[in-house]
Amino acid sequence: MSENSLPKHVAFIMDGNGRWAKKRHKARSAGHTAGYGALQKIIAHAFKSGVETISFYAFSTENWSRPKEEVDKLLSLMSKALKLAGKKLLDEKIRLVISGDYSVLKPRTVKAISDLIEKTSKFTPYTVNICFNYGSRAEIVNAVNNMISDGIRKCDEKILSKYLYTKDLPDPDLIVRTSGEQRLSNFLMWQASYSELYFTDVLWPDFDEKEFDKAIEWYKTRERRYGKS
């Protein structure tokens, strides 16, 4: 069996923050704060390892159905994280992509995010893609509506891909989901057509550099066939 090289794009479904907090008799919000810590560690480590693009599922279109207090916590973590990340992204020349409709955040935050996306847009090759208020179905419907507005009368796979939030990103080679759940939960469903899927019981706040390396080693053993014999 041929060995895969390093994945170019790794995408994370960061799941298990709530269970992590519950185990410690803490509020769910403490789990989300700890999850943010794990995300920062993984970004630094992934780029050091040579992975060029990393995506994180931070908030889904379905997560609005959580209690208001929890939604507010997740939104404020998102705003805070991006505020704090600004300098680092510019200093380290990391491109920021947001997949999803972030216009729901406070106008000041929306402006700061748009500016950061613009200022980092030319940086290569390192890219962080935050999937916020993201769902694959909403993404595809949005793409189709934009195609209609642009007067496109015949669609093909290439055109549709160019209307997705991920238009400038390669498809994920590897998708990692933590916390033992084995589903996509509306995450990058178009882009994941040929992704390798890695599931671990580790809860997201406990997912560290060692766990990341394990996922990469597993990926390297996979044979990617793309339908060929």
Q: Which residues are catalytic?
A: 15, 63
For residues 145 and 132, give the distance between their C-alpha atoms in angstroms, rounded to a whole number: 20
Tell me whether residue 59 or residue 165 sits nearer to ligand IPE (CB atom).
59
The DSSP call for residue 167 is: T
Tell me whether residue 48 or residue 130 sits nearer to ligand IPE (CB atom).
130
Count of chain residues binding Mg ion (CB under 5 A): 1
Q: With CB cut-offs between 5 and 8 Å by kind, which of ligand IPE, Mg ion, none does residue 13 bind?
A: ligand IPE
The C-alpha angle 187, 89, 198, rounded to 5 degrees, equals: 30
Q: How far is the CB of 21 from ligand IPE (least distance, A)?
A: 8
Q: With CB cut-offs between 5 and 8 Å by kind, which of Mg ion, ligand IPE, none does residue 63 bind?
A: ligand IPE
Residues that bind ligand IPE (CB under 6 A): 13-19, 57-60, 63, 74, 179, 181, 183, 185, 204
The DSSP call for residue 58 is: E
Q: How far is the CB of 39 from ligand IPE (least distance, A)?
A: 10
Instruction: From 211, 165, 217, 171, select the one nearest 61 (Cα to Cα).
Output: 165
Tell me whether residue 80 or residue 93 sits nearer to ligand IPE (CB atom).
80
Binding mask 7-46 for Mg ion (x = CB under 5 A): --------x-------------------------------
Task: Let me know: does 170 contact 226? Beta carbons within 8 Å.
Answer: no
Q: How far is the CB of 133 from ligand IPE (least distance, A)?
A: 10
Task: Let me know: does 175 contact 14? Beta carbons within 8 Å.
Answer: no
Q: How far is the CB of 2 from ligand IPE (least distance, A)?
A: 32
Q: How far is the CB of 147 from ligand IPE (least distance, A)?
A: 27
Nearest to ligand IPE by Cβ — which residue? Answer: 18
Distances (CA, A) of 9 to 34, 51, 111, 159, 173: 24, 6, 27, 21, 5
Q: With CB cut-offs between 5 and 8 Å by kind, which of Mg ion, ligand IPE, none does residue 120 bind?
A: none
Give the strand order in the sheet containing 196-199: 95-99, 127-134, 53-60, 9-13, 174-177, 196-199
Count helices and strands (H / E) in the chain: 7, 6
Task: Let me know: does 32 contact 205? Beta carbons within 8 Å.
Answer: no
Instruction: Note the residues at the interface with Mg ion (CB under 5 A).
Output: 15
